[in-house]
Amino acid sequence: MAHIEHLKSLCPLEGLDVVDVGAGDGVYSRQLDAAGAKVTAIEIDPEKVERAKENLPGSIDVKLGAAENLPLTFGSQDLVCLFFSLHHVPIAAQPAAFDEFRRVLGTNGRLHIVEPYPYGTMFDVVRLVEDETIVRTISHQLLNHMDRDQRFALENKREYVLTREYPSFEFFLEKIVLPDPARAKTYEAVAPEMADTFNRAVEYLDGRFVLHQPCAAYHFSVTG
């Protein structure tokens, strides 16, 4: 709940029209809904859209779409959120994505983007099957220079660490690697190295085996 709790400290969610861009299976859409927001979940993967429609509360509107082509009307949203999804938007499409964020936001709209850093024990393990060093670095560079964009003003930036529990390497594989066909295929070539990296990186904390992922949350207001 770290993402949503931080967001709630900046922007009360009750009754707001909120779009979760790159929603995946809807983990954060569900949390936004529980906080009282009227949520639209946007996901580009048709299979994830179908799973989300089956598993999420009926109060959440799930739509197929991309960050650079949102299926929403002009000025219809109070808040646009991206949780660990901006770096998945192709770099060439990111300018169009920000055009879309501004188009769907109302006059007093907010834009909230959380991105993981390309380091941390979680990253050290996952990068063996999907190395996101470059795309994560570019996303943070973009967000740290949004002062060049006259439409958004940075209101708050906060860095924090997500701590995730993985009681075994097998559990980690089942949750993080094997559900993704591309990661699963790559894993075949790095299995011993990945197991060794996991065992060296995992920390025993408060009776739990955990990995840490540092990230930063950027909260913008609409200025023009």
Nearest C-alpha neighbor of 175 from the set 188, 162, 184:
184
Q: Residue 42 in contact with residue 70, Cβ under 8 Å? A: yes
Provide the residue ranges of all domains of the chain, joining segments of one domain with +.
2-222
Question: Which residues does 50 contact at the CB level (< 8 Å), separation at least 6?
Answer: none
User: Is domain 2-222 classified as CATH 3.40.50.150?
Assistant: yes
What tens-digit pLDDT sequence spans the chain (224 residues)?
Answer: 589 999 999 999 999 999 999 999 999 999 999 999 999 999 999 999 999 999 999 999 999 999 999 999 999 999 999 999 999 999 999 999 999 999 999 999 999 999 999 999 999 999 999 999 999 999 999 999 998 888 999 999 999 999 999 999 999 999 999 999 999 999 999 999 999 999 999 999 888 999 999 999 999 999 97
pTM of the model: 0.95
pLDDT at residue 147 in the model: 83
